[in-house]
Amino acid sequence: MAAACSTYDGVPEASRSGFAYGVSKSFVKWYSASQSERFNGRGQRIVSVSHGSVDTEMGRLEERNGAGAIVAAFAVPRWGNAEEMAELFAFCAGGRAGYLTGTDILVDGGVVASMRERTRVAAQQA
């Protein structure tokens, strides 16, 4: 814990919330993968979901901090909706997803894929 705190203290104050978000997201993904074997022995599955911008009250708060511009500029130029997320969660919890465990599902309208591709193309052009 001390090492984690000292790392956080070394991050510029303006970047700390983004740093903390990245660390927490990485932890959730790691935990899902690391616990899947343990829980599978009990007939349970572990899946995490990394969602993009979703049209909810919380999502609209994020829009004021720049999420709206990100959504408009990438693969699926719209916000996700709560029904789409509910369908995914229902599938994950249902019997048809019995082989799904130890993973994170990225459902972000292609934002991460677009960002990676744009970075790749820019690097080739440099």
Active centre residues (catalytic): 21, 25
Phi, psi (rounded to 5 degrees) for 103: -140, 165
Cα–Cα distance list, 13 to 10, 61, 62, 76, 124 (Å): 9, 21, 19, 32, 33
Which residues of 72-122 form beta strands (DSSP E)? 103-107
